[in-house]
Amino acid sequence: MGFLGLLMAACGAGNPNKQLADGIWQAKLHRADGADIVFNFEVKDTAGKKVLFVLNANDRLLVDDVKLQGDSLFIKMPFFDSEFKAVLSSDSAAKGVWIRHLADKDVSVPFSAIAGQAERFPVAQKSTVDVSGRWVTQFVSPTDKDKAPSLAIGEFKQTGDLVHGTFLTTTGDYRFLEGVVSGDTLKLSTFDGSHAYLFTARVAKDSIANGVFYAGIGDGLQYFSAVRNDTAKLPDERTLATMKPGQTKLNFTFPDLNGNKVSINDDRFKNKVVIITLMGSWCPNCMDETGFLSKWYDKNKDRGVEVIGLAYERTTDFEKSKKSLEGFLKRFDVKYPVLITGVTPADPEKGEKTLPQLTGIKGFPTTIFINKKGEVAEVHTGFSGPGTGEHYEQFQSDFNRLVTQLLAN
């Protein structure tokens, strides 16, 4: 019997009741290659039940589906269809698996957690470098050496030995990364139920070398290097996907979660500014954008604006897609229509099948702004979420300025 089988045999085996100690825990996902993806969470009692918050830099992700049965612990993440199943050896120690439910299979990785450990990574010696600033970064795959490097901009802030930051890409950001510099060694990690990342590297004054990016629970990894460049910028997000020559309007009809057909040509959307977000419940950057859009729509819907979500789920099965979306949308109290396209994000023809007027879909989320004449005014690929600091503030300013401009014309 494998580890997962042994764990399931132990869970619910009638062992004595255990409690889940309040306070900060340190958790580790144990990859087969020996690289542990480390993160922290905080356990609290709220209204007589246990909840926890996954901690990444300034982010506190609420997880309120926590169940204890004897010495068995079950934690269902609020997004991305993943969960933990574990056994408590004491009130302050757990061992089990993290399971991701993908469209066609389940994958899992062992994990362990210990209470009373607020440290993310040990600091063996005082940092000898300061990684604060902007870094032009190249990621390369060791298994696909003929492929051109993917480019990103790392942005970090170091206080003492502690580091917060993220990597910005043309299609979004890596959300909240947290870690340390020990001597000249940088370690960063994050976990949100989808992203499970570990970065290690050596830092000099103006360069980062020997970088390894461990992605996910399998054997995925990339190598990276970087050079300091405080003026570096990414390509304009408005140029990555555009309307095809001669096209000015979109034309689509898809079902909502109740199976009702909704079209961009419906009377509800005529003579209004319409914001269309191409998203998916599997997408962490879409989670950040949905959190923003839901609150924004509640405050601005009476100004003559509408929002439509077009969901590209990891399955073409309507009922499975609906189930994945329901919890995602409920968490953010989404009141605008979200439609199921029936096309997966991995489909190379997803653009032609759903929005053939576009030159393509380059990433998720993609946001399309439509003016009161029904014409596409701008297409923005990617999203700079709250983990990007000043870029998120700039995004909100630009977003509101563009909508106000479209409403005035």
Using only C-alpha atoms, the chain has a radius of gyration, in whole angstroms, of 22
Residues in the chain: 409
What CA–CA distance (Å, rounded) separates 251 from 152? Answer: 34
What pLDDT score does 315 carry?
92
Query: What is the architecture, at CATH level 2, of domain 133-228?
Result: Beta Barrel (2.40)
Cα–Cα distances (Å) from 148 to 138, 140, 195, 210, in that order, read 9, 7, 23, 18
Residue 331's CB is within 10 A of a number of other CB atoms, namely 16
Please give the torsion angle defined by the CA atoms of residues 198, 206, 224 and 127, in that order, rounded to the nearest 10 degrees: -20
| Cα atoms in the Cβ-side hemisphere of radius 13 Å centred on 258 | 3
How would DSSP label each residue in 127-150? -SS---EEEEEEEE-TT-TTSPPE
What pLDDT score does 15 carry?
54
Contact 370, 251 (CB under 8 A): no
Contact 312, 364 (CB under 8 A): yes
What pLDDT score does 218 carry?
78
Tokens of 388: 């990007």
Contact 53, 41 (CB under 8 A): yes
3-state secondary structure of 302: helix
Q: Do domains 3-115 and 133-228 have the same CATH topology?
A: no
3-state secondary structure of 405: helix
Q: What angle do CA 219, 170, 280 make, to 5 degrees?
A: 70
Cα–Cα distances (Å) from 300 to 38, 264, 307, 403, in that order, read 40, 19, 10, 10
3-state secondary structure of 181: strand
Burial 368-378 (b: 16+ CB within 10 A, else e): bbbbbebebbe
What pLDDT score does 47 carry?
85
Identify the CATH assignment for 3-115 out of 3.40.50, 2.60.40, 2.40.160, 1.10.287.
Answer: 2.40.160
* Fold of the domain built from segment(s) 253-408: Glutaredoxin (3.40.30)
To which residue do tokens 């050896």 refer?
Answer: 89
What pLDDT score does 19 carry?
87
What CA–CA distance (Å, rounded) separates 309 from 254? Answer: 10
What CA–CA distance (Å, rounded) separates 212 from 189? Answer: 12
What CA–CA distance (Å, rounded) separates 16 from 71? Answer: 6
How would DSSP label each residue in 231-283? T--PPPTTSSS-BPTT------EEEBTTS-EEETTSGGGTTSEEEEEEE-TT-
Q: What is the pLDDT along the chain (409 residues), one digit of tens a residue?
A: 444 454 544 454 445 678 899 999 999 999 999 999 999 999 999 888 999 999 999 999 999 999 999 999 999 999 888 999 999 999 999 999 999 988 788 899 999 999 999 999 999 999 999 999 999 999 999 887 778 889 999 999 999 999 999 999 988 899 999 999 999 999 999 999 989 999 999 999 999 999 999 998 877 899 999 999 999 888 888 888 888 999 999 999 999 999 999 999 999 999 999 999 999 999 999 999 999 999 999 999 999 999 999 999 999 999 999 999 998 999 999 999 999 999 999 999 999 999 999 999 999 999 999 999 999 999 999 998 999 988 999 999 999 999 999 999 8
Domain segments of the chain as ranges = 3-115, 133-228, 253-408
What pLDDT score does 111 carry?
95
What CA–CA distance (Å, rounded) separates 284 from 199? Answer: 18
- Chain centroid offset of residue 55 CA: 14
Contact 212, 201 (CB under 8 A): yes
What pLDDT score does 3 carry?
46
